[in-house]
Structure 1
Amino acid sequence: MSDAAEAPADSQVPVDQEARDLLERVVATPSPSGEEGAAAAELVEFFESHGREAWTDAVGNVRAPADDSLLLTSHVDTVPGDIPVRVEEHDDGSDVLWGRGSVDAKGPLCAMAVVAVRTGVSFAGVVGEEVDSRGAHHLVAERDAPDAVVNGEPSGWDGITLGYRGLTAGRYVHTSESGHTSREEANAIQSAIRWWARVEDRYETDEYEPVFEQVTTKPVAMDGGLTEDGLSVEATMDVQLRVPPALTVDDVQETVVSELAGGTVNWYDEVPPVMVSPRTEVARAFRVAIRDVGGDPRLLRKTGTSDMNVFAGAWDCPMATYGPGDSDLDHAPNEHLPLRDLDRAVAVLERVASDFTEDENDD
């Protein structure tokens, strides 16, 4: 949608130069998972320059606690990829920032940092979301639940994400005796392939069923062959399955294991699915704020997994996920963010945060 088509929002939201400058600095500071330190330091400096106490904790999260009526949190890390950082000025007067993380999720992250210093709510920039959510796990272990949470991921400035599928990941391992390839008996490699085919058949769905409601299956690595002594054939396969809210991780793991005809599966990661009500205080505040800024709120469900899954599993409080950017550009080689969307997202988040701090003051 062009800026001209969004005139109602443009007329109400001025250019937010502070947010744009912070985002450009943070995007220009590479932070692939495991190397978030420099970008985290930029955020700490930003908070300190506004008189807010901030630090990095034991795992590298940026912590800036304050008014816990609302916690704004997003992730500092990105997937690998070098996209030259630049701002393109278009003929229609709009500016677009290119760079790894501009959408996933430094746009949401920097919008939240700016709103946190303006409204006095709590903030956390977490590490490792793209790998194992270690920052989010550390956060929920180290602090009490806030009154409400907004997790930062791209939803579009007028979108509110209320649901994510869960995830389970495991490694299949099987060994068989070596033998001539003319033998009828299946070797470990064949057993692995046949097992995974049975798993995929179990989760074959009607083509019209929404992906969000499906279990989707994905092999992510496979290795096999003769052992060094030549006496056995080994096979390993790393697999991931996405879990819809209608099922639990245990449900899916039990089904996968039931299809074994030899070998074992060792589960090494599991994240429960999450689906929150559109009637919570957080969802309501976003609907009001988006309309105030000139938008028509969209309620979203994502087929992937995010730190919101971790927070929902640990904290019994209202929450949602929000942030500027087109999620179709997550991890993409053409990742970019229209800066007018950043301006709008900051305006929306500021209204939401102010709503919660005002409610706290009324109490």
Structure 2
Amino acid sequence: MNQHADTTTKTTPRELLQSIVSIPSVSGEERECAQRLCEYFAEHDREAWIDDVGNVRAPADDSVLLTSHVDTVPGEIPVRIEPAAEDDVPALWGRGSVDAKGPLVAMAVAAVSTGVSFVGVVGEEVDSRGARHLIENREEPGAVINGEPSGWDGVTLGYRGLLAGTYVATSESGHTSRPENNAIQDAMDWYQAVGDALAPDEWTPVFERVTTKPIAVEGGTTDDGLSVEATMDVQFRVPPAQTTEAIRELADAQLNGGTIHWYDDVPPVMTNPRTPVARAFRVAIREQGGEPRLLRKTGTSDMNLFADAWDCPMVTYGPGNSELDHTPTEHLPLESFDNAIAVLESVCTALISD
């Protein structure tokens, strides 16, 4: 009987990375990229599908859940492989190569090779709708490894929380020579008062501070000429030593006649470096010739939401330099990507056997 050899060629990890980075997936437009991930799992006889909100779901051994986000911020960077100016190491350039398609693809590859669960979530850059949906629609896994750039030899244990709102003030219109505040001044005074109340001393590390930041301001006389209105969108990054509830109360106490609508509230997180997950990473990084770095990030990630909902050990991990997030020079050294896959495979294997 004649037998024909299987000539099917499976996608290599680097090919998958370049393919995924080449597919634009700005928040809200992740579908094509999600489909490509499903195709990769199908190549390896793994079931995967796109759920109601657009997440890629590939359930398997739930001792470990590998999860990272499919979406990116806007910005076109020509996709190519070439060294960065500072070294001779080949790197993949492109929007999302660092944040967070490098971690995403490394996790997809490790999930296939070790047989653990995987989810590629959507909307992390805007409202984390994918992570929120996941929490509501699946059971708690044994452990979570969240994908964000930490460097292949770094493990992120903590993130600050996020509190975001819109301050609104209205005042009667009047001649600009009058000394009374108008709504624009009320908004400015409110922001200054909150900032003063939260001002740290100069020795406090950034991670341990509450950072205040206005992200949009509008104001002026209304169309009918009878009043002045002002709106200010603000964000507060909240360290684990404080709570978003306490910052909300402080900001509400300074309202100065205005009102504020709070539209996002994500608690801070700081995980224990002695969990089985963190230990497994330290061992795996050393096996690859690295010296483990334990990190705290000043931003916020989906791990904040997972930690608030699930009582299981977790960390955030992924190849890439987070200082390149959202920048026009975003690129990922391919050697770092390869190392991260090896580390993830070692960690998952160790956690499955425990």
Q: Could you tell me how far apart the structure 2 residues matched to 1:347 and 1:181 are?
A: 66
1:258 is aligned, of 234, 237, 253, to 253
Cα-Cα RMSD: 1.2
The more displaced of 212-221 and 254-263 is 254-263
Runs of 4+ displaced beyond 6 Å: 90-93
- Which residue of structure 2 aligns with residue 9 of structure 1? none
Q: Could you tell me how far apart the structure 1 residues matched to 2:84 and 2:249 are?
A: 53
1:288 is aligned, of 280, 283, 289, to 283
Q: Could you tell me how far apart the structure 1 residues matched to 2:176 and 2:327 are?
A: 43
Provide, for residues 113-147 of structure 1, a one-character-per-residue CA deviation record: whole Å limited to 9, x for no partner: 00000000000000000001000000000000000
2:302 is aligned, of 283, 301, 307, to 307
- Which residue of structure 1 aligns with residue 3 of structure 2? none
The more displaced of 88-97 and 22-31 is 88-97
Taking structure 1 as the reference length, the TM-score comes to 0.93
Taking structure 2 as the reference length, the TM-score comes to 0.95
Q: Could you tell me how far apart the structure 2 residues matched to 1:18 and 1:200 are?
A: 50
Provide, for residues 16-50 of structure 1, a one-character-per-residue CA deviation record: whole Å limited to 9, x for no partner: x8211110000000100000011101100000110
Q: Is contact 1:19–1:342 with CA below 8 Å preserved after alignment?
A: no
Structure 2 portions without partners, runs of 5+: 1-10
> How far apart are 1:208 and its partner, in Å?
2.0
Aligned: 1:70 with 2:70: no
- Which residue of structure 2 aligns with residue 172 of structure 1? 167
2:32 is aligned, of 38, 62, 67, to 38
Q: Map 1:201-216 onto structure 2 (within 5 A).
A: 201-216=196-211
The amino acid of 2:25's aligned partner reads S
Provide, for residues 307-342 of structure 1, a one-character-per-residue CA deviation record: whole Å limited to 9, x for no partner: 000100111100000000000000010000000000
- Which residue of structure 1 aligns with residue 75 of structure 2? 81
Aligned: 1:19 with 2:8: no
Structure 1 portions without partners, runs of 5+: 1-16
Q: Could you tell me how far apart the structure 1 residues matched to 2:134 and 2:351 are?
A: 21
> How far apart are 1:90 and its partner, in Å?
7.8
- Which residue of structure 2 aligns with residue 239 of structure 1? 234
2:98 is aligned, of 89, 97, 103, to 103
Aligned: 1:55 with 2:13: no
Q: Could you tell me how far apart the structure 1 residues matched to 2:243 and 2:98 are?
A: 30
- Which residue of structure 2 aligns with residue 130 of structure 1? 125
The amino acid of 1:95's aligned partner reads P
> How far apart are 1:93 and its partner, in Å?
6.5
Q: Could you tell me how far apart the structure 2 residues matched to 1:357 and 1:307 are?
A: 23
